[in-house]
Amino acid sequence: MVEEESYTCPGCGKTSYSLNDVREQYCGNCHKTRMEVEAGLKKPRILSPDEMVADDPSHEGPVLVTEDRAIREGGKLDAADYSLLASVAHGEGTKPVTPGDLSEMAEQGIKVFDDLRDMARRHMKPRQARFIRLLRLDGHSWRSIAGLCHRRGWDWANWAPPSNQIAGMALCERAAELHGENYRKEPWN
């Protein structure tokens, strides 16, 4: 039996089976998107790494720094993206990051990325690369792409959590390579 797709609003708990509501994660009862509900209509400050360097240091409060255009421009996000945005908007679970912390996180992230990229290079088929490219051009975030690919049941898609942002980046990099493109540039990012 195939389950019908649905969207349940985290604010009011109402469930919609409308394909548009599911795709946009929109609640017709609250008249808000999931991001708006979870962020309490508070919009977090989102910067690219380049913008962070040029940012006015007098700005206070949490900032989300990401290269993912889908997050910066309000694309199609995964539930984990919405949770992260809500946390940043409210300052929950955030802490100041020192340059040393940032360096350590970057080293760990690079190791994970390299492993996932190697796996994608060994196993990704051209049809999978086309699917990933379509998702990205349709505005999906890296987490969303990782989750959707994981749920397709590809035998090599064994990262955790399913919506792992680094996995989504590695998938996009390999898919872009197979199309002769760069996943950090247009039309990918």
Question: Are the CB atoms for 142 and 70 separated by under 8 Å?
Answer: yes
DSSP string, 15-28: EE--HHHHHHTEET
How far apart CA 16 and CA 18 sit, in angstroms, is 6
- For 70-120, the pLDDT digits (tens) are 998 888 888 888 888 877 877 777 677 777 888 898 899 999 999 999 999
Confidence of residue 2 (pLDDT cuts 50, 70, 90): low
Residue written as token pair 């397709």: 152
What does the DSSP 8-state code read for residue 133?
H
Per-residue pLDDT at 146: 96
- For 139-184, the pLDDT digits (tens) are 999 999 999 999 999 989 989 999 999 999 999 999 999 999 999 9
- 113-122, Cβ contacts within 8 angstroms, sequence gap of 24 or more: 113/166, 113/169, 113/170, 116/159, 116/164, 116/166, 116/167, 116/170, 116/171, 117/170, 117/173, 117/174, 119/156, 119/170, 120/170, 120/171, 120/173, 120/174, 121/174, 121/177, 122/156
How far apart CA 46 and CA 89 sit, in angstroms, is 10
- 37-45, Cβ contacts within 8 angstroms, sequence gap of 24 or more: 37/9, 37/10, 37/11, 38/10, 38/82, 38/83, 38/85, 38/86, 39/82, 39/85, 39/86, 39/89, 39/90, 40/86, 40/89, 40/90, 42/89, 42/90, 43/89, 44/85, 44/88, 44/89, 45/88
Question: Are the CB atoms for 77 and 70 separated by under 8 Å?
Answer: yes
pLDDT of 1 strictly over 70:
no
User: What six digits make up the tokens of 111?
Assistant: 């190791």
Per-residue pLDDT at 42: 62
- For 41-74, the pLDDT digits (tens) are 566 778 888 887 776 766 777 778 889 999 988 8
Q: Which residue has the higher pLDDT, 110 or 5?
A: 110
pTM of the model: 0.74
- For 19-45, the pLDDT digits (tens) are 888 888 888 888 888 877 776 556 677
Per-residue pLDDT at 40: 59
Q: Parse the chain into domains and list their residue ranges.
A: 7-90, 99-178
Per-residue pLDDT at 13: 77
